Structure 1
Amino acid sequence: MSQNLIILQSLKDTVYMRQLSEYINNDFKPFQSAETVAEIQDFFADVTYSHFPVMDNGVYLGCISAVDAETFETGKTIIDFKYSFEGFFVRQSMIWLDVLEVFARNNSNIVPILDETNKYIGYYEITDVIKFLNETPFLKETGGIIVVEKPTADYSMSQITQIVESNNGKLLGVFVSEADAEKVQVTIKTTLGGMNEIIQSFRRYNYEIVSEHHEDNYLNTLKERSEYLDKYLNM
């Protein structure tokens, strides 16, 4: 799993993970290898899919891109362009975070779903997965967002969790939103209450607070002192 998609979720999230299979879609049957390019071009003209799966006697061959299909000779069948098929897919048992990563890696708005025996069982649409994501506590529950930054060699997910919980906060989610060889930026969502205490604790552990907060007494005090100094210098 890529680092920018690492999320520590509340126990409540595990309930939502089990329900992703409810979004398995079979509104359109996959292409068959004997279908003509003209038929496939007509299909893509009527839908907004970036890709669609191709089957051959019940075996999943891969996905054909709508962009590629537009360039193919209409007098041929799709199997003549097997070299262009993209072999990405997800398993029915995969959690939503891994499914979302497959969407992102393949720049697709649908992904085929195979069971553990490689039998094709349908596809997910990105709109349904985003809808599913919106129902997770990370996005649905009321809370506060804190973005912190620290040198890559020094940051710790367990320390971040400890800082939040030791100040009577409850994590709704935390993920690495930016990272390079020098610094890591972490986005944290926590229940409301005690935000200022959490922010000050992060500072004591040498985390830089990237996000702005009305509750941040430290910054408010600095701002007041700066305004007072400006007023004094302009007298």
Structure 2
Amino acid sequence: MDIREYIINDVEPLELKDSVQHAKKIFQQLTFSHMPVMDGELYVGCVSETDAHCFEAGQSLTDVKYAFDVFMVREDTHWLDVLEAFAQHNSNVMPVLDEKNKYLGYYELKDIMQHFSDSPFLYESGAVIVIEKGSTDYSFSEIAQIVESNDSKIFGFFVSNYRDHISEITLKISPANVNAVLQTFRRYSYDVVSAAEDDSYLDALKERSDYLDKYLNI
């Protein structure tokens, strides 16, 4: 599903020449965790609300550029990867750039979460599996191959937690051949944290993802 319709420009990004005091005023008016910062036409990163309140009001954003968080997604990034980026950077704003690195606007987490709530991940009957593996040792393509090789269908998956270089991946699959899917994950050295039937999957999702628990209210 295409989420580019959710790219918005209601709030102008900050400029490097802006003062920290100006950034503080913007954060007081909004509920954003971060604000994109531009150097002319060039996106240079995001300043966080937490950092902004720690800086001296008389400083310029150029003076505190070292503290910027540099993250973004492309306009064609899949919505599950966008959701993962929100979680990785603990942000509720995600800058969007095109293939030439032109700033297009930003996503708000609440909009992507609404898209998430409307997806088959939530409304299709199935089972939710939570697995773990080293963050450099897995791939989404491998996970999909494991599920589909056991004649099951994958409705969606995303990184629901990250700690000590271990990624936790939550996925929802069709109810067919769940045990075979679990056995195959173990053969591929995935740790199976839990496997829940459809009637309990939302509770498991909230319990195992502190980040999404703050925003998912369905």
Q: Give the TM-score band, short-chain normalised.
A: 0.5 to 0.7
Does the residue aligned with 2:9 lie in a helix, a strand or coil? coil
Q: Equivalent residue for 2:148?
A: 161
What amino acid maps onto 1:86 in structure 2? D
How far the C-alpha of 1:204 sits from its partner, in A, is 9.0
Give CA-to-partner distance per residue, 1:48-86, whole Å, 9 cap, x none: 111101112221111001100001111122111111111
Mapping of residues 70-149 of structure 1, within 5 Å: 70-141=53-124, 143-145=125-127, 147=129
In structure 2, runs of 5+ residues without a counterpart are 135-141, 187-191, 199-218
Q: Distance in 2 between matches of 1:159 and 1:24?
A: 33
Cα deviation, 1:184-229, whole Å, max 9, x if unaligned, reads 98754316xxx6xx45766998989954669xxxxxxxxxxxxxxx
Distance 1:176 1:105 in 2: 9
**TM-score normalised by length of structure 2:** 0.67
More strand by share: 2
Q: Give how far 1:151 is off.
A: 11
- Cα displacement (A) at 1:170: 4.9
Partners in 1 of 2:39 and 2:148 — Cα distance? Answer: 49
Q: Which one-letter code corresponds to 1:128 in the other structure? A: D
CA-to-aligned-CA distance 1:87-113 (integer Å, 9 cap, x gap): 111111211122222212211111111
Find the counterpart in structure 2 of residue 28 from structure 1: 11
Corresponding residue for 1:227? none
Gapped runs of 5+ residues in structure 1? 1-15, 215-235
- RMSD over aligned CA atoms reads 3.8
After superposition, the C-alpha distances for 1:157-196 in whole angstroms (9 at most, x for unaligned) are 6454344x3xxx654346787999xxx98754316xxx6x
- Structure showing greater radius of gyration is 1
Q: 1:233 maps to which residue?
A: none
Residue deviations 1:130-172, cap 9 Å, x none? 111222212233x0215488999xx986454344x3xxx6543
Q: Does 1:190 align with 2:190?
A: no
Q: Would you say the 8 A contact 1:199–1:209 is kept in 2?
A: no
Q: Is the 8 A contact 2:9 2:105 kept in 1?
A: yes
Return the structure number with greater relative CO, CA threshold 8 A, min gap 6. Answer: 1
The residue that corresponds to 2:45 in the other structure is 62
Instruction: Write the letter of the residue equivalent to 1:161.
Output: E
> Hey, what does 2:211 align to over in structure 1?
none
Q: Does 1:52 align with 2:68?
A: no
Counterpart contact for 1:146–1:188, Cα < 8 Å: yes
Matched residues, percent identical?
A: 36
